[in-house]
Amino acid sequence: MARKGDGFVRWTIVLGLICAVMSQQSTVSQKLYEGSQKFALNFFKKISEFVDSDPSVTTTNIIISPLSVWTLLALLTEGADGKTLRELLDVLNVDNQNDIKYNFKNLIDTINVNTSEVEISSLQLIFTDITQQRQQAFDDSIVQFYGQDLLRSLDFNSSPPARKSSYQTINGIVSNATKGQIEKAIHPSDLKDAKMLILSVLFFKGDWTLPFNRSQTVDTPFLNENDVTVGPVPMMYSKAVFPFAAFRELEAQIVELPYGSDRYLSMMVILPRKGVPLKDVIGRLANFSMQTIYQELRTAAEEYEDDEVEVYLPRFEITADYKLKAPLFDMGVKAAMSKETAQFDRMANGIFLGDIVQKARIVVNEEGTTASASTAAIFANKATPPRFFANRPFAFLIVDKRFDVILFMGQVKNPLAV
């Protein structure tokens, strides 16, 4: 059992013999991607439930990066033991910690992309207060398996000026990593009494493969789930060949809007059937196979490769700041969050997880996006193109189809609320 103290961890915003080993690593990496996908769908459901039920929440629009949270929890497993480790692995959907240790860096490196059309960049850092000693074996393992530049030491608590300087340093790193999209990832109070801060940042910017024509954007009424108009919103319009399908089990339509010329990154926009609450669709999505969605959209694109779809999508922007302790506790991360039960002695003595905070931002416009059981496809004929008219609450996923990884996800209930 770990020694207990008053310190805590905070986070703001992962020739035949050679072939066999590479194949084995590829299989394990794919299992990690699948684990992150399952985590993402469950996490989205929990966040949606908490946001919709919390009276203190000022907007029910959501933007989260489940991959960023998954990579942070994955890093924590390197320093966890006992029940704390078992709970983390269960929530991450990973069989054993070595799968993370030996594949984490490759997983992160393969996701990162930087072209003129699409950029994905991720950053993981572990900041420790200068008074808190880390275990040498932990440091050695982090450097060897996760990256040489992850470990940093800062002065969190010796004086208010020192705390302010550390706060500014951390926020400067996040601002640079997100191209200025997130300038204040943490507050000075987040460092008060903290012993360690683990940071995970994910940045995405993508140009649509088929941009919306700005001249065709017009103000259009947007309805809430009670069919009451929340106001006119700038509704973008495009008529082009998009993968599009209706999913009976979800009671929703999905259209895929690809990014860049390679088209392996996409936004999946999920529109519930009229009269179906968005939370019901998100709940079903948590038990649905993303592979089924990808396959149905691929089949639809192949069978109706010349059919155009009329897509109406509001321009929107969301900035959100979430404390994730409650939803993650609900998902099973429990022992880590109590100083009586946390076992992080492989990382440092006497620490526990005080809170996990995520700040995220997404901007969707005509040019693209900046973020910080089998069913039949239903199409009309070419004379009357099918319409995807997102004039009521919808959900969205930004996915990397190379690895079936969900980078960002969210819901829009009022496009006018940022």
Domain containing residue 117: CATH number: 3.30.497.10
Largest CA distance in the chain: 71
Spatial separation of the C-alpha atoms in residues 177 and 201, rounded to whole Å: 7
Res 23: pLDDT: 44
Question: Per-residue pLDDT for 416 more than 80?
Answer: yes
- Structure token pair of residue 327: 């939803």
In this prediction, residues 299-325 reach a mean pLDDT of 87
- Percent of the chain past pLDDT 70, that is, above it, reads 89
- For residues 377 and 300, which has the higher predicted lDDT (pLDDT)? 300
Tokens 């700041």 locate to 321
- Residue 240 confidence (pLDDT) above 60: yes
Nearest to residue 256, comparing CAs of 296, 215, 214? 296
Q: Has residue 418 been placed in a domain? A: no
398 and 301 together in one domain: yes
> Measuring CA to CA, which residue among 295, 264, 247, 305 is closest to residue 407?
264
Confidence tier at 381 by pLDDT (50, 70, 90): very low
Looking at the structure, do residues 201 and 232 belong to the same domain, yes or no? no
CB contact burial 325-341 (16+ within 10 A = b; e otherwise): bebbbebebbbbbebeb
Please tell me whether residue 395 adopts helix, strand or coil conformation: strand
What is the pLDDT at residue 41?
Answer: 96
pLDDT the model gives residue 329: 95
Angle formed by the axes of helices 82-92 and 66-77, to 10°? 150
Q: Please return the burial class of 175, using the count of CB atoms within 10 Å of its CB with bins 0-12, 13-18 and 19+.
A: middle
Structural domain contains residue 2: no
Q: What DSSP string runs through 221-271?
A: EEE-TTS-EEEEEEEEEEEE---EEEETTTTEEEEEEEETTT--EEEEEEE
Same domain, 249 and 381: yes
Q: Are residues 308 and 325 in the same domain?
A: no
Asked whether residue 229 falls in the same domain as residue 372, the answer is yes
Residues 6 or more apart in contact with residue 22 via CB below 8 angstroms? none
Boundary-marking domain end, from 326, 342, 361: 361
Helices (H) and strands (E) in the chain, counts: 11, 18
Residue 26: the pLDDT is 65
pTM metric for this prediction: 0.88
Q: Is residue 170 part of a domain?
A: yes
H helices of 312-368, in order, are 325-331
Q: What are phi and psi of 2, to 5 degrees?
A: -70, 150
- Are both 131 and 57 inside the same structural domain? yes
Q: Which residue has the tokens 């398996």?
A: 145
Are 14 and 152 contained in the same domain?
A: yes
Tokens encoding 359: 């700040």
Sign of CA dihedral 311, 202, 113, 106: negative
- Other Cβ atoms closer than 10 A to 179: 13
Q: Cα separations (Å) of 15 from 19, 211, 402?
A: 6, 46, 26
Check residue 266 and give left, alpha or beta (phi > 0: left; psi -120 to 50: alpha): beta
Number of domains the chain is built from: 2
**What are residue 20's phi and psi, to 5 degrees?**
-65, -40
Per the structure, the complete domain to which residue 165 belongs is given by 7-205+317-361
The CA radius of gyration of the chain, in Å to the nearest whole number, is 22
Average pLDDT over residues 365-375: 69
**Confidence check: pLDDT of 169 > 80:** yes
CA dihedral of 42, 47, 50, 53, whole degrees rounded to 10? -100
Q: Are residues 26 and 146 in the same domain?
A: yes
Three-state SS for 157? coil
User: Does one domain contain both 243 and 169?
Assistant: no
Q: State phi, psi for 321 to the nearest 5 degrees.
A: -135, 115
3-class SS of residue 258: strand
Helix axis angle, 104-111 relative to 16-53, nearest 10°? 70
Task: Tell me whether residue 1 is in a domain.
Answer: no
Read off the pLDDT band of 199 (50, 70, 90): confident
Give domain status of residue 190, yes or no. yes
Q: Residues, the chain, total?
A: 418
CA gap 214, 235 in Å, rounded: 10
Residue 19 has pLDDT above 70, yes or no: no
Judge whether 102 and 25 are in contact, CB under 8 Å: yes
3-class DSSP assignment, residue 305? coil
Whether residue 18 has pLDDT greater than 70: no
CATH number at residue 237: 2.30.39.10
The answer to the question of residue 286 being in a domain is yes
Determine contact, residues 297/375, Cβ cutoff 8 Å: no
Q: Are both 132 and 159 inside the same structural domain?
A: yes
Report, as an integer, the average pLDDT of 358-374: 80
Do the domain assignments include residue 332?
A: yes
Residues 85 and 185 in one domain: yes
In a domain, 155, yes or no: yes
Six-digit token pair at 180? 């200025």
Helices 278-285, 16-53: crossing angle, 10 deg rounding: 150
* Average pLDDT rounded to a whole number, residues 152-158: 89
Q: Are residues 233 and 269 in the same domain?
A: yes
Q: CA torsion 278→283→288→291, rounded to 10°? A: 60
Q: pLDDT tens-digit profile of 244-297? A: 999 999 999 999 999 999 989 999 999 999 999 999 999 999 998 888 898 888
Tell which wins on pLDDT, 36 or 17: 36
